[in-house]
């Protein structure tokens, strides 16, 4: 008491009970039963099974308020753990050859004996003991006290799918030890998990992505994937249409690309293509990988303009009375690969060469295209950047800090959050001086945590 500076009221082990069981799973089962019947003292719970003491001691310790309001300490351990607690390392070779101990413990005993023969000392003995006794798993409790075994790194969502597939599909939140936690929270042994569900199943496609951290179990991810496969054909068809329309718009493409797209993915027709896109068989990254080289193939082939036309190579700042202006649709900046378009009454408008409006320009109007010589000059230009990320606290602040650090003026930020998928889309408007400066700021943004993609707005 003097060494630990405790009062008599702080002693919980004056009344103690020890429970010896056959295996680790039963340890947590007994713990759940005890906490179901009696009120526990949270600060007095210790899980020495998941986190052994330096000397190798393993056991579950809990203190509950028993009859007449008196506290009782309860220790829960397996038979081998009890032998080790009573006899130390000598306990590991007490078992006789041919005994009825389970094969896992026999394997440990053989390993420990081998360590003793090799004279590796107590450190090697302890490392082997902890490695072989404790597999790569966590043991958590249901609200009723039942034990669920999950892979290490398991989340409440893994727990929900382990309880029942439908519970996983309808999972919308979770409580751990009575407190709300994110679905991607990593569980620890001994924690009690309660799943909050909705009336209808509505898994998120992000659950299938290991990088999001929602599911550690490949089996659970397969259940999510199967759910999307089994969804109504029309729902997948509509979802595929929306995804493809957004992709076409972002890449400045149109329906003319569909035949090549259908052939590329080996589909029978447009509907089967859209259904596979809608249910996730054809991913967004695959669509982007298709359209990027297609865009390169469609680079503008501008007509040769005779020098005596006096249009020739116009500088962005204007040549003589030649009126030039920067296109608002693609917002080119010095250093971009640009092209000019001769307008009626407004001189030459300068576009980025990959501008969707220029890529989709009708053949009858392509004779208005001219090469533009972007001269070295100083000035401030407006550029738009699009950013896609998994939402998190402090993301917008980190984004603005990137602009502050680079001394670039951020004049606009349009942010839209998708609560269901927990993603955020940002459209950032900044004042910059060159394409090199713009590339630098985009590279810094791409390095932020949770950011999936950074691109020039089209």
Question: What's the confidence (pLDDT) of residue 319?
Answer: 43
Residues 15 and 96 in one domain: yes
Residue % of the chain over a pLDDT of 90? 17
Question: What's the confidence (pLDDT) of residue 198?
Answer: 85
Per residue in 147-159, pLDDT tens? 888 998 999 999 9
What is the spatial distance between Cα 335 and Cα 355, in angstroms, rounded to a whole number? 15
Residues 392 and 322 in one domain: no
Per residue in 344-353, pLDDT tens? 777 788 888 8
What average pLDDT does this structure show over 153-171?
Answer: 94
Whether 389 has a pLDDT exceeding 90, the answer reads no
Residue 298 pLDDT level (bands cut at 50, 70, 90) = low
What is the spatial distance between Cα 412 and Cα 435, in angstroms, rounded to a whole number? 19
Question: What's the confidence (pLDDT) of residue 158?
Answer: 96
How many Cβ atoms from other residues are within 10 Å of residue 443's Cβ? 11
Least confident of 23-37, 86-100, 264-278: 86-100
Residue 2 lies in a domain: no
Residue 51 pLDDT level (bands cut at 50, 70, 90) = confident
Whether 107 has a pLDDT exceeding 80, the answer reads no
Residues 81 and 153 in one domain: no
Question: What's the confidence (pLDDT) of residue 138?
Answer: 87
Residues 6+ apart with CB under 8 A from 293: none
What is the spatial distance between Cα 76 and Cα 142, in angstroms, rounded to a whole number? 18
Last residue of a domain, one of 228, 252, 273: 228
Last residue of a domain, one of 212, 228, 244: 228
Question: What's the confidence (pLDDT) of residue 104?
Answer: 55
Residue 284 lies in a domain: yes
What average pLDDT does this structure show over 258-287?
Answer: 85
* Helix or strand run (H / E) with residue 85: helix 79-87
Question: What's the confidence (pLDDT) of residue 314?
Answer: 42
Question: What's the confidence (pLDDT) of residue 118?
Answer: 46
β-bridge mates for residue 350, sequence order: 326, 340
Residue 122 lies in a domain: no
Last residue of a domain, one of 297, 327, 353: 297
Residues 161 and 187 in one domain: yes
Question: What's the confidence (pLDDT) of residue 233?
Answer: 76
Whether 100 has a pLDDT exceeding 80, the answer reads no
Residues 245 and 324 in one domain: no
Instruction: Please state whether beta strands 348-352 and 409-418 pair in parallel, antiparallel, or not at all (unpaired).
Output: unpaired
What average pLDDT does this structure show over 258-269?
Answer: 88
Per residue in 317-331, pLDDT tens? 444 445 667 888 888
> What CATH number is attached to the domain comprising 20?
3.30.460.10
Per residue in 356-385, pLDDT tens? 888 888 888 888 887 776 654 556 778 889
Least confident of 22-31, 32-41, 103-112, 298-307: 298-307
Per residue in 216-250, pLDDT tens? 988 899 899 888 877 767 788 888 888 888 888 77
Question: What's the confidence (pLDDT) of residue 247?
Answer: 81
Residue 224 domain boundaries: 137-228
Residue 115 lies in a domain: no
Question: What's the confidence (pLDDT) of residue 133?
Answer: 47
Residues 361 and 400 in one domain: no
Residue 106 lies in a domain: no
Residue 103 pLDDT level (bands cut at 50, 70, 90) = low
Whether 142 has a pLDDT exceeding 70, the answer reads yes
Question: What's the confidence (pLDDT) of residue 77?
Answer: 94
Whether 165 has a pLDDT exceeding 90, the answer reads yes
Q: What is the dihedral of CA 443, 444, 449, 451, to 10 degrees?
A: -40
Residues 252 and 292 in one domain: yes
More confident residue, 285 or 413: 413
Residues 330 and 386 in one domain: no
Residues 85 and 14 in one domain: yes
Whether 28 has a pLDDT exceeding 50, the answer reads yes
Handedness of CA 221, 225, 228, 230 (dihedral sign): negative
Residue 45 pLDDT level (bands cut at 50, 70, 90) = confident
Residue 109 pLDDT level (bands cut at 50, 70, 90) = low
Residues 398 and 451 in one domain: yes
Residue 302 lies in a domain: no
Q: What is the dihedral of CA 436, 441, 443, 448, to 10 degrees?
A: 180
Residues 23 and 95 in one domain: yes
pTM for this prediction: 0.34
Question: What's the confidence (pLDDT) of residue 3?
Answer: 47
Whether 80 has a pLDDT exceeding 50, the answer reads yes
Whether 310 has a pLDDT exceeding 50, the answer reads no
Question: What's the confidence (pLDDT) of residue 373?
Answer: 67
> What CATH number is attached to the domain comprising 395?
3.30.70.260
What average pLDDT does this structure show over 72-95?
Answer: 74
More confident residue, 232 or 215: 215
What's the mean pLDDT when you consider all of the chain? 77
* Helix or strand run (H / E) with residue 271: helix 270-278
Q: What is the dihedral of CA 345, 347, 350, 353, to 10 degrees?
A: 70
Count of structural domains, the chain: 5
Residue 96 lies in a domain: yes
**E strands, 214-322, in order:** 314-315
Residue 56 lies in a domain: yes
Whether 117 has a pLDDT exceeding 80, the answer reads no
């Amino acid at each position: 008491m003097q060494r630990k500076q405790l009062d008599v009221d702080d002693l919980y082990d004056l009344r103690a009970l020890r429970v010896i069981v056959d295996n680790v799973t039963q340890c947590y089962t007994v713990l759940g039963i005890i906490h179901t019947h009696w009120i526990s003292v949270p600060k007095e719970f210790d899980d020495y099974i998941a986190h052994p003491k330096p000397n190798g001691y393993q056991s579950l310790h809990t203190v509950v308020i028993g009859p007449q309001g008196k506290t009782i300490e309860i220790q829960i351990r397996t038979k081998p753990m009890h032998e080790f607690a009573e006899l130390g390392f000598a306990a590991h070779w007490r078992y006789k050859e041919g005994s009825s101990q389970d094969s896992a413990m026999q394997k440990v005993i053989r390993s420990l004996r081998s360590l003793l023969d090799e004279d590796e000392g107590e450190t090697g003995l302890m490392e082997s003991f902890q490695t072989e006794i404790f597999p790569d798993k966590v043991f958590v409790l249901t609200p009723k006290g039942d034990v669920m075994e999950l892979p290490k790194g398991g989340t409440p969502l893994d727990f929900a799918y382990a309880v029942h597939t439908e519970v996983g599909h309808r999972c919308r939140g979770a409580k751990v030890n009575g407190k709300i936690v994110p679905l991607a929270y990593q569980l620890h042994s001994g924690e009690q998990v309660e799943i909050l569900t909705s009336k209808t199943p509505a898994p998120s496609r992000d659950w299938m992505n290991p990088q999001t951290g929602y599911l550690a179990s490949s089996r659970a991810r397969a259940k999510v994937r199967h759910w999307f496969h089994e969804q109504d054909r029309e729902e997948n068809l509509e979802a595929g249409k929306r995804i493809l329309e957004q992709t076409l718009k972002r890449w400045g493409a149109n329906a003319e690309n569909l035949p090549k797209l259908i052939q590329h993915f080996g589909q029978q027709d447009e509907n089967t293509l859209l259904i596979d896109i809608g249910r996730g068989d054809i991913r967004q990254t695959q669509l982007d990988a298709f359209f990027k080289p297609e865009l390169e193939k469609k680079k503008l082939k501008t007509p040769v303009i005779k020098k005596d036309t006096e249009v020739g190579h116009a500088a962005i700042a204007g040549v003589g009375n030649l009126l030039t202006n920067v296109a608002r649709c693609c917002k080119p900046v010095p250093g971009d690969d640009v092209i000019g378009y001769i307008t009626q009454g407004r001189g030459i408008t300068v576009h980025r060469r990959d501008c969707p409006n220029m890529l989709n320009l009708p053949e009858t109007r392509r004779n208005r295209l001219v090469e533009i010589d972007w001269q070295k000059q100083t000035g401030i230009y407006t550029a738009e950047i699009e950013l896609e990320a998994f939402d998190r606290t402090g993301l917008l602040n980190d984004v603005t800090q990137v602009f502050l650090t680079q001394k670039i003026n951020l004049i606009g930020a349009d942010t839209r959050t998708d609560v269901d998928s927990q993603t955020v889309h940002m459209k950032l408007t900044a004042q910059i001086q060159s394409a090199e400066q713009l590339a630098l700021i985009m590279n810094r943004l791409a390095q932020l945590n949770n950011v999936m993609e950074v691109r020039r707005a089209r």
